[in-house]
């Protein structure tokens, strides 16, 4: 399983759009666009979790720089933030 961070996409992109971008590469477990907690509008970034790490890395390579809703997206493996003790 691998989590992918996607940013710089237009504010019209929805969860299902993210799922559709990644699903040709393998099974998508979840796809979520981050939204502003007060307005509910997109923040232009989100996370996708794919079942197979190898397929996820292929998706990252293939989708990096893809034009989505008039913006070139940034796609990368999500970084794990260490939890404080």
> What pLDDT, in 10s, does the model give residues 10-51?
888 899 999 999 999 999 999 999 999 999 889 999 999 999
Within a domain: 70: yes
Q: Write down the pLDDT at residue 81.
A: 67
Q: Write down the pLDDT at residue 50.
A: 96
Q: Write down the pLDDT at residue 83.
A: 63
Within a domain: 83: no
Whole domain around residue 41: which residue ranges?
Answer: 2-77
Within a domain: 18: yes
Question: Of residues 68 and 85, which shows the higher confidence score?
Answer: 68
Within a domain: 44: yes
Within a domain: 85: no
Handedness of CA 33, 37, 39, 40 (dihedral sign): positive
Number of domains in the chain: 1
Half-sphere exposure of 48 (CA within 13 A, CB side): 32
């Amino acid at each position: 399983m691998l989590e992918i961070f996607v940013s710089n996409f237009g504010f019209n992109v929805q969860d299902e759009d993210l799922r559709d971008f990644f699903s040709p590469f393998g099974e998508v477990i979840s796809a979520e666009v981050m939204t502003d907690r007060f307005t509910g509008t997109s923040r232009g970034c989100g996370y996708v979790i794919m079942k197979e790490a190898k397929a996820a890395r292929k998706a990252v390579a293939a989708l990096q720089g893809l034009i989505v809703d008039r913006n070139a997206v940034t796609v990368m493996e999500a970084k794990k933030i260490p939890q404080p003790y």
